[in-house]
Amino acid sequence: MNAIAPTLIQKLQELPPQRLAEVEDFVEFLAAREMRSAAGARLGASLAKLDALNLPALSDDEINAEIQAVRRERATQRT
């Protein structure tokens, strides 16, 4: 990147403001895509670890109980 940076900066400085705004939008898009990709990789790794535990699946009642517990906790935090 060091060899590219001065050339890239020079080219950016030569762009009109409208094009520079487009470049900024594109860079933000790339950064967001990179963040989503990293988050997906972390999620995949977490799911693999969870799967390796060989835990039994939660029942619908257990899932509903967890949801209700979280909702109660959030409600008490708001007050």
- Which range marks the domain in which residue 69 is found? 27-79
In a domain, 6, yes or no: no
Alpha carbon distance 79, 74 (integer Å): 9
Alpha-carbon distance values, 52 to 5, 18, 57, 58 (Å): 44, 51, 13, 16
The per-residue pLDDT for range 16-30, each reduced to its tens digit, is: 999 999 999 999 999
- The pTM score is 0.59
With a CB cutoff of 8 Å and minimum separation 6, the contacts of 15 are 23
What is the number of domains present in the chain?
1
Asked if the structure places residue 21 within a domain, the reply is no
Give yes or no for a contact between 15 and 23, defined as CB atoms under 8 angstroms apart: yes
Model pLDDT for residues 38-64, shown as the tens digit of each residue: 999 999 999 999 999 999 999 999 999
- For residue 59, give the 3-state DSSP assignment: coil
